[in-house]
Chains A and B, each alone.
Chain A
Amino acid sequence: MTTVAQTAPPKTRRRRSVQNHGSAPYWLIAPAFILFLAFMVIPIIYTVWLSMFAYRVDSGGGILAKRVLSFVGFGNYKAVMSDSAYATGLLHVLLYGIVAVPILLGLALIFALLLDTVGVRSGGFSRPAIFIPYAIPGVVAALLWGFLYLPSTSPISSITEALGWGTVPFLNLPWIYGSLANIAVWGGVGFNMIIIYTALRSIPGEVLESARLDGASEVQVALRIKIPMVIPAIVLTSFFALIGTLQLYNEPQTLRTMSSAISPTWVPLMTIYRDAFMTDNLPRAAAASVLLALITVIASVIVMAIARRRSAK
């Protein structure tokens, strides 16, 4: 992702710097370090520790039986992996991601290329318009789209009903995957478009000019020059999309108030919430959190590795 060596000043200067600057660099980084420790490192260690234990009812008997933690090793991990709620949750996320991510990134790329194509007008209006959903929280986006899906308020359903075709079951299976994916596409396309567009703008004009002089059409310029040159930006957007997919929570949780197709454990994070706060099984929620974080890290590393191999070619 980056190279530290690039920034290291020559050795002699470095030694003098360390002497002169004293504790200043440490003071500057101290707030970040303390917060990092308190709200990331310690919670991670605590989660891993907790995930190795389970509550056992103390054999004292009676109504006031105490719950005590006892070590169970990887027991919770086995329980999570054999819990069908987590397995189906991952499956839902996977199905949703297969629909949402390619459409999201594809549309973002198409819009960015069009904004960057000479002769295509309306950029001054379309660019901010497509970006607006970025400012709307997932919960509010799900609320808006929820009503546009709900048979009694949906404009699409009112048209299909007038034609005698009945309402469109946006909130039922299997439509619900597309409906959720649509919310993600709507909310994310503008931000990703801007990232790719900014990368397109930094391609030197001479490169494009010489291709055009060679007789390349705008489509050829886009496919052969522009897209290869903005691969890093596309990798970044895939990275964001991947993390967003695995952490899917706000939208299904909100749509659940309108749709019976979404169960209380529809995505992994909803099941973690159930284990932690409804069935009061914190160790199992901790184990599931660790697994979800691991899946995210591994998936991110794979995306990065593929990207690095591509760019090395």
Chain B
Amino acid sequence: MTTTSYPRSRGRAPFRPGGTLILIAGAIYCLVPVAWVFIAASKAPNELFSTFTFAPGSGLISNIKDLFAYQDGQYWYWVGNSALYSGVGAVLSTLVSAMAGYSLAKYTYRLRGVLFYSFLVGILIPGITLAVPQYLLMSKLGLAGSQLSVLLPVIISPFGIYLSYVFARSAVPSETMEAARLDGASEFKIFRSIGMPLMVPGLITVFLLTFVGIWNNFLLPFIMLSDQDKYPLTLGLYTLLAKGSGEPALYSLAITGAALSVIPLVALVMVLQRYWRVDLVSGAVKG
């Protein structure tokens, strides 16, 4: 499980140009569409279809102004909603998963086995096939169309629970918990001040996976929401694109909106991936 460095070769390795070239080609393949969206965002609507694809245009500022002016600044609602659904959803989901994983890993109790295997089966059930019945239940509760209808179903994550379980099992020593008990600490205090801090690297992983998962979500808000002011970014950009086939000026807005939406998430992922523990994900199947 460790990723510490150890000698992997003798002496100085000879430079391998072939392999290096393949890796750089892969990097370029992954960066080109990202570079394109920023170049295209700089093109005025009349330049989009007339100038060479990778030639920068002159319309960046006016595109951004048009985007922010669209439907009285609806773009900001989409940004805010995406941040709300992903931020609050991922924090709550990580917390719920941490508590459940810790409970399953560090205690022995009667229903533990049943719960554990129920969650395991839950990993296999594709969440997306539940979207339609979730919508029906939300309508019965009178919540369909509200922001809660998108937020609540994403908090439960069987995979997050499983990862937290794997991590709690290896990172939280039972001896430390026992010592704290002898000192008279309550079980909740032990979870808060010993369990949670030790689980932080694993929880960052769970948080990042959940955050990106919710940010990517499309079908659930597509089914649940009808008010465009409650849309997340994915759904908002999709609407712009869908309307754009009849009104090409909206294509420029969709492209500019996509370019701006890429920045914060790439930044977040790049920062957090330094701290996350992918070995937890790959180690999870080894059991």
Residues of chain A whose beta carbon lies under 8 Å from any beta carbon of chain B? 1-4, 7-9, 14, 17-18, 20-22, 24-29, 31-33, 35-36, 38-44, 46-47, 50, 107, 110-111, 114-115, 117-123, 125-126, 128-141, 143-148, 152-155, 158, 186, 189-190, 194-196, 198-199, 201-202, 204-205, 208-209, 212, 218, 232-233, 235-236, 239, 243, 246-247, 249-250, 253-254, 257-258, 269, 272-273, 276-277, 282, 285-286, 289-290, 292-293, 296-297, 300-301
- Which residue of chain B lies nearest to A121 when distances are taken between CB atoms in the complex? B20
* Complex-state Cα separation, A140 to B254, whole angstroms: 9
The answer on a CB contact under 8 Å between B15 and A276 is no
Tell me the complex Cα distance, A25–B26, Å. 47
- Ordered by A's residue number, 26 sampled pairs between the chains whose C-beta atoms are within 8 Å are A1-B285, A4-B116, A29-B99, A29-B104, A31-B100, A32-B161, A38-B137, A38-B152, A39-B156, A43-B134, A110-B22, A132-B270, A138-B216, A138-B218, A140-B258, A194-B273, A194-B278, A195-B278, A199-B279, A209-B8, A209-B9, A236-B282, A253-B218, A253-B238, A289-B129, A297-B125
Other-chain residue from A46, A121, A209, A292 in contact with B129 (beta carbon distance below 8 A): A292
Distance in Å: Cβ of B246 to nearest Cβ of chain A? 10
Chain B contacts with A in 187-205, Cβ cutoff 8 A:
187-188, 191
A236 engages B242 (CB within 8 Å): no
In the complex, whether B88 has a CB less than 8 A from a CB of chain A is: no
Contacting residues, chain B, for A136 (C-beta < 8 A) = 34, 262, 265-266
Report the Cα distance A117→B244, complex, angstroms: 47
* B237 interface residue per 8 A CB criterion: yes
Question: Are the CB atoms of B7 and A205 closer together than 8 Å?
Answer: yes
| Nearest CB on B from A181, distance (A) | 14
Using Cβ atoms and an 8 Å threshold, which residues of chain A touch B26? 107, 111, 126, 129-130, 189
Cβ contacts under 8 Å, A121 to chain B: 15-16, 20
How far is it, in angstroms, between the C-alpha of A17 and the C-alpha of B174 when the chains are bound?
Answer: 11
B122 at the interface (CB under 8 A from A): yes
* Cα–Cα, bound, A36→B285 (Å): 22
Confirm or deny: B153 has a beta carbon within 8 angstroms of a beta carbon on chain A: yes
Q: Does B71 contact A (CB under 8 A)?
A: no
- How many positions in chain B have a CB within 8 Å of any CB in the partner chain? 115
Interface residues of B in 97-112 (CB under 8 A from A): 97, 99-100, 102-109, 111-112
* A202:B119 contact, CB within 8 angstroms: no
Residues of A within 8 A of B279 (CB): 198-199, 201-202
Do residues B108 and A9 form an inter-chain contact, with CB atoms below 8 A?
Answer: yes
> At the interface, yes or no: B69 with Cβ under 8 Å from chain A?
no
Partner of A199, one of B36, B191, B218, B282: B282
Query: Is B282's CB under 8 angstroms from A233's CB?
Result: yes
Cβ-defined contact, A140 with B262, below 8 A: yes
Q: Which residues of A contact B266 (CB under 8 A)?
A: 132, 135-136
Tell me the interface secondary structure of chain A in the complex.
Answer: helix
Q: Which residues of A contact B106 (CB under 8 A)?
A: 25
Q: How far is the CA of A285 from the CA of B223 in the complex (A)?
A: 13
Question: In the complex, which residues of chain A have a beta carbon less than 8 angstroms from the beta carbon of B20?
Answer: 114, 120-122
Bound: A47/B128 CA distance, A: 13
Q: Contacts A4-B113, A28-B102, A43-B130: A118 and B107 contacting too (C-beta < 8 A)?
A: no
Cα A140 to Cα B266 with chains together (Å)? 13
Q: Mask for B28-48, Cβ within 8 A of A = 1, else 0?
A: 111101101100100000001
Name 7 extra pairs, CB < 8 A, besides A39-B130, A137-B215. A24-B188, A41-B118, A119-B19, A128-B273, A137-B216, A143-B258, A297-B125
Shortest Cβ distance from residue B107 to the other chain A in the assembled complex, whole angstroms: 4
Who on chain A is nearest to B181 by CB?
Answer: A20
Complex Cα distance A301/B120, Å?
12
Least CB distance, A207 to chain B, in whole angstroms: 10
In this complex, the member of B10, B14, B26, B156 whose beta carbon has the largest number of chain A beta carbons within 10 angstroms is B26
Residues of B within 8 A of A137 (CB): 215-216, 218, 233-234
- Contact partners of B212 in chain A: CB under 8 A: 134-135
User: Quick check: B129 and A135 within 8 Å, CB to CB?
Assistant: no
A139 touches B234 (CB 8 A): yes
B9 touches A44 (CB 8 A): no
In the complex the two chains form, what is the Cα distance from A258 to B155 in whole Å? 34
Complex interface bits, B116-156 against A, C-beta within 8 A gives 1, otherwise 0: 10111010111011101111110000000000000011011
Query: Is B36 within 8 A of A235, CB to CB?
Result: no
Report Cα–Cα, A272/B188, bound state, in Å.
44
Taking a contact as CB atoms closer than 8 A, the residue among B52, B128, B137 that contacts A158 in the complex is B52
Q: State whether the Cβ of B90 lies closer than 8 Å to any Cβ in chain A.
A: no
Contact among B19, B116, B119, B152 for A114, CB-based, below 8 A: B19
What are the residues of chain A within 8 A of B133 when measuring CB–CB?
43-44, 46-47, 50, 286, 289
Distance between Cα atoms of A16 and B219 in the complex (Å)? 48
